[in-house]
Structure 1
Amino acid sequence: MLNVDFSWALCAVMLAVTAAAAAAFLSLREGRGKSGLSLDARHVWLCAICTHIYINTKDDKISLCPRCGSYNSRDSGLRPSAARRPEKS
C-alpha cells in the first residue's frame, strides 16, 4: 500500500483544484474578445461647446452632450477620422 501523509494529500488536491480553475478561466477568457462588437462612426459625437467626445447610439439628428448639456446637431458632427483623441505623453 502507498503510504501518503495527510498534508501531502491535501496539497495534491489543492493543486489539482487550482489547476482546473486556472484552465477553466483561461478557456473562458479566450472567447471574450471575439464578440464582433464595433463602434459605428455615426454614433460618435463631438460637443461643439466643450469638445467632449461621446457616444450616442440613438439615430437622432440632435444629441445632448452628457458633460455640459448642450445640444449638438448631426450636421456639425464628428468625422470618423477625427474620432481619435490625441494620446497623452
Structure 2
Amino acid sequence: MGRGKVQLKRIENKINRQVTFAKRRVGLLKKAKELSILCDAEVAVIIYSNRGRLFEYSSHSSGNMMETIRRYEKSNGGAHQAHVSSREAEQVGEW
C-alpha cells in the first residue's frame, strides 16, 4: 500500500517542524550520496536550517564543496539559475 500524498504547507508546530526537517535532511543527503555512487555523478547539496545552521554534502573526491561550486559557476557562466525541463517541473509539482 502506498503512502498518502503529503500536503505541502508550513508545519505550524515548531517541534514537529524541527523533527520533520531533521528526518527529511537525512533523507535528502542519503539520496544525494546514492545518486553520486550509483550514477558516478558529482553532487553537491547545501542546506541551511531556519536557525542558520549549515548542512552540506559533496561527492567531490576530496570532499571539497568549493571545488564543485567553482565548477558550477564556470559551467554556468556565473548565472545561478536552475535548468529544469518542463516535465521535471511538473513532476516536482506533483510531489
**TM-score calculated relative to the size of structure 1:** 0.28
- Bigger relative contact order, structure 1 or 2, given CA contacts below 8 A and separation 6+? 1
Greater Rg by CA? 1
Q: Which protein has the bigger helix share?
A: 2
TM-score, normalization: structure 2?
0.26
